[in-house]
Copies of this chain bind each other. A is one copy, B any other.
Amino acid sequence: MTADVSPPLRPATLEDVAAVAGVSRATVSRVINGATTVDPALRRVVEEAVATTGYVPNRAARSLVTRRTDSVALVVSERERRPVSEPFIGRMFSDPHFGRVVAGLMDVLRPAGIQMVLMLADDEGSRDQLLSYLRQGHVDGVVLISSHADDPLPGLIHDTRLPAVLAGRPRRPSPLTYVEADQRAGAQMAADHLAALGRRRIGTVAGPQDMPAGQVRLTGFLDALEQHGVGDVVTAEGDFTQSGGASAMRQLLKERPDLDAVFIASDLMALGALPVLLRAGKDVPADVAVVGFDDSNAAVACDPPLTTVRQPVEEMASEMARLLLRQIGKPGDGPAPSVVFHPTLVHRESA
Protein backbone atom coordinates (compact mmCIF):
# COMPACT_ATOMS: atom_id res chain seq x y z
CA MET A 1 0.00 0.00 0.00
CA THR A 2 1.38 3.34 -1.00
CA ALA A 3 0.14 6.63 0.35
CA ASP A 4 -3.06 7.84 -1.24
CA VAL A 5 -2.73 10.37 -3.96
CA SER A 6 -5.23 13.12 -3.30
CA PRO A 7 -8.31 12.07 -5.21
CA PRO A 8 -8.72 13.91 -8.49
CA LEU A 9 -11.83 16.02 -8.66
CA ARG A 10 -11.45 16.02 -12.39
CA PRO A 11 -10.62 12.77 -14.15
CA ALA A 12 -7.04 12.61 -15.29
CA THR A 13 -6.33 13.60 -18.87
CA LEU A 14 -3.55 12.71 -21.21
CA GLU A 15 -1.97 16.02 -20.27
CA ASP A 16 -1.91 15.07 -16.60
CA VAL A 17 -0.26 11.76 -17.34
CA ALA A 18 2.27 13.48 -19.57
CA ALA A 19 3.12 15.93 -16.81
CA VAL A 20 3.61 13.17 -14.25
CA ALA A 21 5.68 11.10 -16.64
CA GLY A 22 7.65 14.09 -17.83
CA VAL A 23 6.94 13.44 -21.50
CA SER A 24 4.68 14.86 -24.17
CA ARG A 25 1.02 14.10 -24.72
CA ALA A 26 1.89 12.36 -27.95
CA THR A 27 4.14 9.86 -26.25
CA VAL A 28 1.51 9.00 -23.72
CA SER A 29 -0.97 8.58 -26.52
CA ARG A 30 1.42 6.25 -28.26
CA VAL A 31 1.81 4.13 -25.17
CA ILE A 32 -1.93 4.01 -24.61
CA ASN A 33 -2.51 2.91 -28.16
CA GLY A 34 0.28 0.40 -28.19
CA ALA A 35 2.52 2.04 -30.75
CA THR A 36 5.74 0.09 -31.15
CA THR A 37 7.90 3.13 -31.61
CA VAL A 38 8.32 3.93 -27.95
CA ASP A 39 11.45 3.46 -25.92
CA PRO A 40 10.86 0.62 -23.47
CA ALA A 41 12.16 2.68 -20.57
CA LEU A 42 9.91 5.60 -21.34
CA ARG A 43 7.04 3.23 -21.83
CA ARG A 44 7.47 1.95 -18.30
CA VAL A 45 7.54 5.46 -16.90
CA VAL A 46 4.38 6.33 -18.74
CA GLU A 47 2.64 3.18 -17.65
CA GLU A 48 3.44 4.04 -14.08
CA ALA A 49 2.09 7.53 -14.51
CA VAL A 50 -1.08 6.08 -15.97
CA ALA A 51 -1.45 3.86 -12.94
CA THR A 52 -0.85 6.60 -10.37
CA THR A 53 -3.19 9.03 -12.06
CA GLY A 54 -5.85 6.43 -12.68
CA TYR A 55 -6.07 7.65 -16.21
CA VAL A 56 -8.74 6.27 -18.53
CA PRO A 57 -9.06 7.55 -22.07
CA ASN A 58 -12.00 9.80 -22.80
CA ARG A 59 -14.00 8.04 -25.44
CA ALA A 60 -15.74 11.15 -26.68
CA ALA A 61 -12.50 12.93 -27.37
CA ARG A 62 -10.97 9.91 -29.00
CA SER A 63 -14.05 9.22 -31.03
CA LEU A 64 -14.17 12.81 -32.20
CA VAL A 65 -10.83 12.48 -33.90
CA THR A 66 -10.68 8.83 -34.87
CA ARG A 67 -14.27 8.68 -36.03
CA ARG A 68 -14.54 5.32 -34.43
CA THR A 69 -16.78 4.74 -31.46
CA ASP A 70 -15.86 1.26 -30.30
CA SER A 71 -19.51 0.48 -30.05
CA VAL A 72 -22.04 -1.25 -32.22
CA ALA A 73 -25.80 -1.08 -32.33
CA LEU A 74 -27.93 -4.08 -31.62
CA VAL A 75 -31.06 -3.22 -33.54
CA VAL A 76 -34.26 -5.05 -32.82
CA SER A 77 -36.82 -4.55 -35.52
CA GLU A 78 -40.41 -5.48 -34.91
CA ARG A 79 -43.58 -5.10 -36.81
CA GLU A 80 -45.50 -2.03 -35.76
CA ARG A 81 -47.80 -2.78 -32.87
CA ARG A 82 -51.22 -2.44 -34.31
CA PRO A 83 -53.32 -1.14 -31.46
CA VAL A 84 -51.50 1.86 -30.12
CA SER A 85 -53.28 1.04 -26.91
CA GLU A 86 -51.05 -1.98 -26.49
CA PRO A 87 -49.18 -1.04 -23.37
CA PHE A 88 -45.69 -2.26 -23.93
CA ILE A 89 -43.15 -2.82 -26.58
CA GLY A 90 -40.94 -5.69 -27.25
CA ARG A 91 -42.39 -9.04 -28.09
CA MET A 92 -38.85 -9.81 -29.12
CA PHE A 93 -37.34 -8.67 -25.88
CA SER A 94 -39.35 -11.10 -23.83
CA ASP A 95 -38.40 -13.94 -26.14
CA PRO A 96 -35.63 -16.01 -24.56
CA HIS A 97 -34.17 -16.30 -28.02
CA PHE A 98 -33.22 -12.65 -27.83
CA GLY A 99 -31.30 -13.18 -24.63
CA ARG A 100 -29.38 -16.04 -26.15
CA VAL A 101 -28.37 -13.82 -29.03
CA VAL A 102 -27.23 -11.10 -26.66
CA ALA A 103 -25.16 -13.60 -24.74
CA GLY A 104 -23.50 -14.90 -27.87
CA LEU A 105 -22.72 -11.41 -29.13
CA MET A 106 -21.34 -10.24 -25.85
CA ASP A 107 -19.08 -13.22 -25.66
CA VAL A 108 -17.11 -11.84 -28.60
CA LEU A 109 -17.71 -8.11 -28.31
CA ARG A 110 -16.72 -7.72 -24.70
CA PRO A 111 -13.19 -9.07 -24.98
CA ALA A 112 -12.76 -6.77 -27.96
CA GLY A 113 -13.72 -3.78 -25.84
CA ILE A 114 -16.73 -3.01 -27.97
CA GLN A 115 -19.90 -1.74 -26.32
CA MET A 116 -23.38 -2.68 -27.41
CA VAL A 117 -26.05 -0.04 -27.76
CA LEU A 118 -29.55 -1.42 -27.74
CA MET A 119 -31.96 0.10 -30.21
CA LEU A 120 -35.53 -0.66 -31.12
CA ALA A 121 -37.31 0.06 -34.36
CA ASP A 122 -40.99 -0.66 -34.23
CA ASP A 123 -42.58 2.13 -36.21
CA GLU A 124 -41.65 4.67 -38.78
CA GLY A 125 -40.70 7.28 -36.24
CA SER A 126 -38.30 5.07 -34.40
CA ARG A 127 -36.91 3.82 -37.69
CA ASP A 128 -36.10 7.35 -38.79
CA GLN A 129 -34.57 8.10 -35.45
CA LEU A 130 -32.49 4.97 -35.68
CA LEU A 131 -31.28 5.73 -39.17
CA SER A 132 -30.23 9.25 -38.38
CA TYR A 133 -28.41 7.90 -35.37
CA LEU A 134 -26.61 5.40 -37.54
CA ARG A 135 -25.85 7.86 -40.30
CA GLN A 136 -24.21 10.24 -37.93
CA GLY A 137 -21.70 7.54 -37.15
CA HIS A 138 -22.43 7.03 -33.53
CA VAL A 139 -21.67 3.34 -33.87
CA ASP A 140 -19.12 1.46 -35.92
CA GLY A 141 -21.52 -1.22 -37.08
CA VAL A 142 -24.86 -2.81 -36.59
CA VAL A 143 -26.35 -6.18 -35.80
CA LEU A 144 -29.93 -6.45 -36.97
CA ILE A 145 -32.45 -8.84 -35.54
CA SER A 146 -35.62 -8.58 -37.50
CA SER A 147 -38.82 -10.35 -36.64
CA HIS A 148 -40.73 -9.86 -39.84
CA ALA A 149 -40.18 -10.74 -43.44
CA ASP A 150 -40.97 -7.49 -45.19
CA ASP A 151 -38.68 -5.42 -43.08
CA PRO A 152 -37.24 -2.52 -45.10
CA LEU A 153 -34.46 -2.09 -42.57
CA PRO A 154 -31.83 -4.31 -44.23
CA GLY A 155 -31.97 -2.11 -47.30
CA LEU A 156 -32.01 1.10 -45.31
CA ILE A 157 -29.12 -0.02 -43.18
CA HIS A 158 -27.16 -1.02 -46.23
CA ASP A 159 -27.65 2.50 -47.54
CA THR A 160 -25.87 3.87 -44.51
CA ARG A 161 -22.76 2.02 -45.73
CA LEU A 162 -22.15 0.97 -42.17
CA PRO A 163 -20.79 -2.53 -41.60
CA ALA A 164 -23.75 -4.70 -40.71
CA VAL A 165 -24.72 -8.29 -40.04
CA LEU A 166 -28.20 -9.75 -40.14
CA ALA A 167 -29.57 -12.52 -37.98
CA GLY A 168 -31.09 -14.72 -40.66
CA ARG A 169 -31.28 -14.40 -44.40
CA PRO A 170 -33.55 -11.50 -45.34
CA ARG A 171 -36.57 -12.18 -47.54
CA ARG A 172 -35.56 -9.74 -50.21
CA PRO A 173 -32.03 -10.46 -51.31
CA SER A 174 -29.57 -8.07 -49.76
CA PRO A 175 -25.84 -7.59 -50.08
CA LEU A 176 -25.56 -7.53 -46.32
CA THR A 177 -23.83 -10.33 -44.50
CA TYR A 178 -26.13 -12.68 -42.70
CA VAL A 179 -25.78 -15.64 -40.38
CA GLU A 180 -28.39 -18.32 -40.25
CA ALA A 181 -28.97 -21.96 -39.59
CA ASP A 182 -29.68 -24.15 -42.58
CA GLN A 183 -33.42 -24.43 -42.24
CA ARG A 184 -33.72 -26.86 -45.08
CA ALA A 185 -31.15 -29.21 -43.64
CA GLY A 186 -32.93 -29.03 -40.30
CA ALA A 187 -36.23 -30.01 -41.85
CA GLN A 188 -34.47 -32.84 -43.64
CA MET A 189 -33.10 -34.20 -40.40
CA ALA A 190 -36.60 -34.24 -38.99
CA ALA A 191 -37.84 -36.11 -42.04
CA ASP A 192 -34.98 -38.59 -41.95
CA HIS A 193 -35.58 -39.30 -38.31
CA LEU A 194 -39.27 -39.89 -38.74
CA ALA A 195 -38.67 -42.11 -41.74
CA ALA A 196 -36.01 -44.08 -39.88
CA LEU A 197 -38.58 -44.64 -37.17
CA GLY A 198 -40.68 -46.38 -39.80
CA ARG A 199 -43.42 -43.79 -39.76
CA ARG A 200 -45.30 -43.42 -43.03
CA ARG A 201 -48.55 -41.61 -42.22
CA ILE A 202 -46.98 -38.27 -41.71
CA GLY A 203 -48.28 -34.76 -41.24
CA THR A 204 -46.70 -31.39 -40.60
CA VAL A 205 -47.65 -28.17 -38.89
CA ALA A 206 -45.90 -25.62 -41.03
CA GLY A 207 -44.93 -22.08 -40.14
CA PRO A 208 -46.40 -19.03 -41.84
CA GLN A 209 -45.70 -19.28 -45.54
CA ASP A 210 -44.93 -15.60 -45.76
CA MET A 211 -41.85 -16.05 -43.62
CA PRO A 212 -38.70 -17.53 -45.10
CA ALA A 213 -38.27 -19.88 -42.15
CA GLY A 214 -41.82 -21.09 -42.56
CA GLN A 215 -41.43 -21.78 -46.26
CA VAL A 216 -38.08 -23.48 -46.20
CA ARG A 217 -38.86 -25.74 -43.30
CA LEU A 218 -41.94 -26.98 -45.12
CA THR A 219 -40.44 -27.59 -48.55
CA GLY A 220 -37.31 -29.08 -47.04
CA PHE A 221 -39.41 -31.50 -45.05
CA LEU A 222 -41.64 -32.50 -47.96
CA ASP A 223 -38.72 -32.96 -50.34
CA ALA A 224 -36.83 -35.16 -47.94
CA LEU A 225 -39.87 -37.24 -47.22
CA GLU A 226 -40.43 -37.75 -50.90
CA GLN A 227 -36.95 -39.17 -51.13
CA HIS A 228 -38.00 -41.66 -48.49
CA GLY A 229 -40.95 -42.58 -50.64
CA VAL A 230 -43.51 -40.77 -48.55
CA GLY A 231 -45.44 -38.50 -50.87
CA ASP A 232 -48.77 -38.11 -49.19
CA VAL A 233 -48.19 -35.63 -46.38
CA VAL A 234 -50.96 -33.64 -44.77
CA THR A 235 -50.12 -30.05 -44.03
CA ALA A 236 -51.61 -27.33 -41.88
CA GLU A 237 -50.26 -23.84 -41.46
CA GLY A 238 -49.69 -22.34 -38.03
CA ASP A 239 -48.50 -18.87 -37.11
CA PHE A 240 -45.57 -19.82 -34.90
CA THR A 241 -47.67 -19.30 -31.77
CA GLN A 242 -48.79 -21.88 -29.30
CA SER A 243 -52.50 -21.56 -30.03
CA GLY A 244 -51.77 -21.53 -33.73
CA GLY A 245 -50.02 -24.85 -33.27
CA ALA A 246 -53.01 -26.24 -31.42
CA SER A 247 -55.57 -25.41 -34.09
CA ALA A 248 -53.30 -26.57 -36.89
CA MET A 249 -52.92 -29.86 -35.05
CA ARG A 250 -56.68 -30.21 -34.73
CA GLN A 251 -57.03 -29.67 -38.43
CA LEU A 252 -54.37 -32.25 -39.20
CA LEU A 253 -56.07 -34.80 -36.98
CA LYS A 254 -59.39 -34.23 -38.68
CA GLU A 255 -57.91 -34.74 -42.11
CA ARG A 256 -55.85 -37.73 -41.17
CA PRO A 257 -56.96 -39.38 -37.91
CA ASP A 258 -54.54 -42.28 -38.33
CA LEU A 259 -51.44 -40.05 -38.36
CA ASP A 260 -48.36 -41.71 -36.90
CA ALA A 261 -45.93 -38.80 -37.03
CA VAL A 262 -45.91 -35.05 -37.24
CA PHE A 263 -43.20 -32.46 -37.80
CA ILE A 264 -44.02 -29.15 -36.19
CA ALA A 265 -42.09 -26.17 -37.48
CA SER A 266 -41.50 -24.58 -34.08
CA ASP A 267 -41.31 -25.83 -30.52
CA LEU A 268 -43.75 -23.20 -29.39
CA MET A 269 -46.36 -24.52 -31.80
CA ALA A 270 -45.56 -28.04 -30.60
CA LEU A 271 -46.28 -26.87 -27.09
CA GLY A 272 -49.79 -26.09 -28.27
CA ALA A 273 -50.13 -29.16 -30.44
CA LEU A 274 -49.15 -31.83 -27.94
CA PRO A 275 -52.17 -31.43 -25.66
CA VAL A 276 -54.43 -31.70 -28.71
CA LEU A 277 -52.80 -35.00 -29.55
CA LEU A 278 -53.10 -36.31 -26.02
CA ARG A 279 -56.70 -35.25 -25.77
CA ALA A 280 -57.42 -37.14 -28.95
CA GLY A 281 -56.21 -40.24 -27.19
CA LYS A 282 -52.89 -40.42 -28.98
CA ASP A 283 -49.85 -41.46 -27.04
CA VAL A 284 -46.67 -39.59 -27.88
CA PRO A 285 -44.44 -41.09 -29.16
CA ALA A 286 -46.06 -44.54 -29.27
CA ASP A 287 -48.99 -43.58 -31.50
CA VAL A 288 -47.69 -40.35 -32.94
CA ALA A 289 -44.04 -39.32 -33.09
CA VAL A 290 -43.48 -35.58 -32.83
CA VAL A 291 -40.45 -33.57 -33.93
CA GLY A 292 -40.19 -29.86 -33.26
CA PHE A 293 -37.87 -27.10 -34.36
CA ASP A 294 -35.67 -24.62 -32.44
CA ASP A 295 -34.72 -26.44 -29.29
CA SER A 296 -36.13 -23.58 -27.31
CA ASN A 297 -37.24 -23.66 -23.71
CA ALA A 298 -40.59 -24.86 -24.93
CA ALA A 299 -38.99 -28.10 -26.07
CA VAL A 300 -38.21 -29.08 -22.52
CA ALA A 301 -41.46 -27.67 -21.24
CA CYS A 302 -43.37 -30.09 -23.43
CA ASP A 303 -44.71 -33.32 -22.12
CA PRO A 304 -43.14 -35.48 -23.29
CA PRO A 305 -39.98 -33.47 -23.86
CA LEU A 306 -39.56 -32.72 -27.51
CA THR A 307 -37.21 -34.25 -29.98
CA THR A 308 -36.33 -31.19 -31.98
CA VAL A 309 -34.01 -29.53 -34.45
CA ARG A 310 -31.48 -27.42 -32.65
CA GLN A 311 -30.10 -24.15 -33.98
CA PRO A 312 -26.89 -23.14 -32.23
CA VAL A 313 -28.17 -19.66 -31.41
CA GLU A 314 -25.32 -18.47 -29.21
CA GLU A 315 -22.65 -19.73 -31.57
CA MET A 316 -24.40 -18.06 -34.45
CA ALA A 317 -24.57 -14.79 -32.56
CA SER A 318 -20.88 -14.99 -31.73
CA GLU A 319 -20.17 -15.54 -35.39
CA MET A 320 -22.22 -12.47 -36.25
CA ALA A 321 -20.08 -10.45 -33.90
CA ARG A 322 -16.90 -11.81 -35.44
CA LEU A 323 -18.06 -11.04 -38.96
CA LEU A 324 -19.05 -7.55 -37.93
CA LEU A 325 -15.72 -6.93 -36.27
CA ARG A 326 -13.95 -8.12 -39.37
CA GLN A 327 -15.85 -5.69 -41.57
CA ILE A 328 -15.22 -2.87 -39.16
CA GLY A 329 -11.55 -3.77 -39.15
CA LYS A 330 -11.18 -3.44 -42.92
CA PRO A 331 -13.90 -1.21 -44.26
CA GLY A 332 -12.71 -1.41 -47.84
CA ASP A 333 -13.59 -5.06 -48.23
CA GLY A 334 -17.35 -4.66 -48.21
CA PRO A 335 -19.67 -7.19 -46.63
CA ALA A 336 -18.12 -10.40 -45.36
CA PRO A 337 -19.42 -13.65 -46.82
CA SER A 338 -22.48 -14.96 -45.05
CA VAL A 339 -22.30 -18.02 -42.87
CA VAL A 340 -24.74 -20.89 -42.66
CA PHE A 341 -24.72 -23.10 -39.59
CA HIS A 342 -25.76 -26.68 -39.47
CA PRO A 343 -28.54 -27.64 -37.18
CA THR A 344 -28.54 -30.84 -35.19
CA LEU A 345 -31.27 -33.15 -34.06
CA VAL A 346 -31.76 -33.25 -30.32
CA HIS A 347 -33.17 -36.52 -29.15
CA ARG A 348 -35.71 -36.42 -26.39
CA GLU A 349 -38.81 -38.45 -25.82
CA SER A 350 -41.38 -37.33 -28.36
CA ALA A 351 -39.87 -39.17 -31.30
Contact = CB atoms under 8 A, between A and B. Distances in A.
Contacts of A110: 120, 126
B117 A71 contact: yes
A69 B96 CA distance: 30
A295 to B, nearest CB: 12
A64 interface: yes
A119 interface: yes
A44 interface: no
Contacts of A278: 303
Contacts of A137: 11, 58
Nearest to A101: B93
Interface stretch (A35-43, A84-92, A325-333, A338-346): A84-92
A116 interface: yes
Contacts of A58: 64, 136-137
Given A11-B137, A59-B138, A135-B56, A242 B297 contact: yes
A274 B302 CA distance: 10
A50 to B, nearest CB: 11
A283 interface: no
Contact of A301 (B11, B71, B136, B271): B271
A94 interface: yes
Contact of A118 (B74, B100, B133, B274): B74
Say how many copies of this protein the assembly contains: 2
Interface of A: 11, 54, 56-61, 63-64, 69, 71, 74, 87-90, 92-96, 98-100, 102-104, 106-107, 110, 115-120, 126, 132-133, 135-138, 242-243, 268, 271-272, 274-275, 278-279, 296-298, 300-305, 314
A120 B133 CA distance: 24
A272 B298 contact: no
Nearest to A100: B94
6 A-B pairs closest in CB distance: A90-B103, A93-B99, A94-B99, A60-B63, A275-B303, A56-B136
Contact of A94 (B103, B126, B133, B136): B103
A257 to B, nearest CB: 19
A202 to B, nearest CB: 23
Given A271-B297, A278-B303, A303-B278, A115 B119 contact: yes
B107 A88 contact: yes
Query: Of A60, A74, A136, A242, which is in contact with the most chain B CB atoms at under 10 Å from its CB?
Result: A60
